[in-house]
Each structure stands twice: as C-alpha cells, then as structure tokens.
Amino acid sequence: MARRIAAGAAYGGGGIGLVGAAAVGLFLAEVQLAKRSVGSGSAPVPPPGDGLYGMPLSGHTGLPPLRLGMLGDSTAAGQGVRRAGQTPGALLASGLAAVAERPVELRNVAQRGAMSDDLERQVTALLRDPARRPDVCVVMIGANDVTHRMPATQSVRHLVSAVRRLRTVGAEVVVATCPDLGTIEPVYQPLRWVARRVSRQLAAAQTIGTVEQGGRTVSLGDLLGPEFLANPRELFGPDNYHPSAEGYATAAMALLPTLCAALGLWPESDRLDASRDEDMLPVAKAAAEAASAAGTEVTGARGPWALLKHRRRRRLPTHPNTEPTPSEARRA
C-alpha cells in the first residue's frame, strides 16, 4: 500500500483509499467523541526559537555557524511548551552545536496547523536569502494530513517536492515521518486501529518518497508511541495532543543521531549492526519496517535498496555552552 501511495504521488495518481468504506460507519461516532476530547486543553503558542545556539563554541574551530532549518506543523514549531529552549528546533540546534563544536543558526518556518501542502511556502521562505540557505533541514509533517483526510498521494507529492527543492540547493534533509495517531489517549477502538493503520501507511509512503530524493527519515513512533502510551501524563501536553517538554526531548533524542549522521558528525558509521536488527532492504520493505518500529532511520543505499538503522541515542547535552541564553539567541 505504501508503495502504491508513493507511486501515485510520483506519477500524479489520485487519492488511494487507506480504509474501506465499510469501516467508516463503525467509527463515525468515535470521531465526534475524539474531536470533543482531543485538543480541548490549552496549549501555549509556540515560542520563537530562531537564533544562534552554542555561541561560546565559536572560538573552538573558527568555522562559521551551521544552518539548521525546521519545517512542518505545530509539532515542528513546538506548540505545547512555553520556553524556546524546550522546542524541538532549539533542542536539536543545541545538540548539533555540541556534537559539531561550532555554533548553529536555527530558522524555524513551521506553521501551526500546517499540512503538507504548506511545505512549498515554507521552503520558499527558507530559501529566500541565498546567503542563509540551510546546511540541513528537519521536516516534521503528516499528522494534520491524516486528521484532515488529505489524500495520501497528494500528501506525499507535496513532501517529495519539498525534499527535492532542498536537496537541489545542497541541503541535507531529515524527515520525521507521520506519528502514530492511534496512541492519542482519548481515541478509542475501532478509531484507534484505523488511526494507527492510516498513520503507519502514510509514514511508510513518506519514507519511500524521501529516500528516493536523497533524504533520510526517522519514524516518530516515539513521539506518540509506546513511551507516550506508557507515560501519557508526562509526555503529552495539556491539550492531550501535542507533546510536553519531556515529549519533545524524547523526540529530539531520536532525531539527533540521524541529523548528525547526515552531516558526517556522528561517530557511528553506516555499517550495519545485526545485533540491533539493522539490515539492507528494498526501500518499500525498509519503509514498512520503520513505520512499525519507533526511532528507526531509513537512508538510501544503492538503487532500490535502503539501510535500516537503529542508531544509539544519547541524552541531549546540558552543558551551559550549548544552552541558548538571551544574549546568545537572536531572532533570525
């Protein structure tokens, strides 16, 4: 199914139904219940996190700052937390600065409520100034596509176009694929099963499209997956939908190794480790495996093959040199 979605996106196919029409009547009532329950709490507006991170590191190498771009929806923007340093962009910029031992300039163009069709506008905004084009970009998108029932082929087509534009200007791209919406606490069966199935199929199709354009993906089952299911009060924010500060930190820890690997900074090689169930698989099979295993990285290898990686996570740095301060972080 994921391959059909990706192929439909590549060749201009129409929407491919992910769930049979007979299933619709079973969960219509629960859709209405979930709409009343999810998002009913108050989620803070995402704080602006644009700026320079790791400024004290600038004297270590004399190299110019790395440029990190964040694109996507409210999760990429950091909705649900009150401090800029708690947003995923700030967490990734701080972690990247610590690993690279050089400052990182963050530009976040993500938009609350955005679907994949907003990525064209976001990429244009990010690339407007040729002198500030990003070295690496993180895209977090897909949840709103599912909840607003955007056809999967259309969703993937917009993502592929965005990845292609970013790769064309030389930026590395890491896509955090659609999270598992079946783990949202107020969602019940059979809607939970449908949400999980649709989310995973879209995530797999996003992986196929991204890898074929030279990007990397990380499955975000960790964002709304087993850890969140076990600790919903700690890892979900007040609206029961967006992550809390602890939730964003969990997601950032899953993304940081791949972000660093894309820039050649991570000490681990791309050699496969069989003890961690790493493998070289056809892209479609790797995408399906990743969609069901949180935190899995997929990157292109040769031809139709892809590497399935489970990189070791490390805690985000807490050294003061990597924490932004009002004097170090400036609006971009």
Catalytic residues: 74, 239, 242
Q: Please give the Cα distance from 25 to 249 (Å, whole number).
A: 38
Q: Which residues pair with 140 in a beta bridge?
A: 72, 176
Of 98, 90, 322, 76, which is closest to residue 223 (Cα–Cα)?
76
Q: Are 89 and 70 in contact (CB under 8 A)?
A: yes
Q: Are 139 and 174 in contact (CB under 8 A)?
A: yes
10 Å CB burial of residue 316 (0-12, 13-18, 19+) is: middle
Phi and psi, residue 316, nearest 5°? -65, 140
Amino acid identity, residue 223? L
Q: Please give the Cα distance from 63 to 314 (Å, whole number).
A: 25
Token reading at 261: 């690997």
Q: Please give the Cα distance from 135 to 176 (Å, whole number).
A: 17
CB-based burial, 21-38: b 16+ in 10 Å, e otherwise: eeeeeebeebeeebeebb
Q: Please give the Cα distance from 188 to 6 (Å, whole number).
A: 29
Helices (DSSP H) in the chain: which residue ranges?
A: 2-10, 21-37, 58-61, 74-77, 88-100, 119-126, 143-147, 152-168, 191-212, 221-224, 226-230, 232-235, 245-262, 283-291
Amino acid identity, residue 241? Y
